[in-house]
Amino acid sequence: MIESVVQDWLANFRQTALARDLEGHMAMISPQVTVFGVPGFDTLGYEDWYKQCAHEFPQGLIVALDYSRIAVRTANQSQILFKALETTATADGGQISQAVEMLLQRDEDSWRLKQLRILPADEARHDGLV
């Protein structure tokens, strides 16, 4: 059950990004989202994410987005915490792989991303994500 929630959420998250569906993509993210681990920033929030997607989507900068090595860490009726290896391919031929920890939170009508943490290399290695 929990694994299928994560798999379905990631599939929809990926699909909205690749379809350049800004509104659909942002609907999967909590307005109170916090992003940790981005170099040069303490934290980022919903508006930062929205601006980045509004810039990238029309230009088709992301051509592939995949999640592997998914491992649920803890879950209850309203939250699921999991780690995964996120791989993004860009239109210029680049590829970025990074280990992430995501916290999904159940709102009244769906699951939304509440927190994203880009994992430091040593923690990612320890968790077998890289």
* Spatial distance between the Cα atoms of 56 and 111, rounded to a whole number of angstroms: 24
Q: Determine the pLDDT at residue 54.
A: 97
pLDDT in tens, the chain (130 residues): 899 999 999 999 999 999 999 999 999 999 999 999 998 899 999 999 999 999 999 999 999 999 999 999 999 999 999 999 999 999 999 999 999 999 999 988 899 999 999 999 888 887 777 6
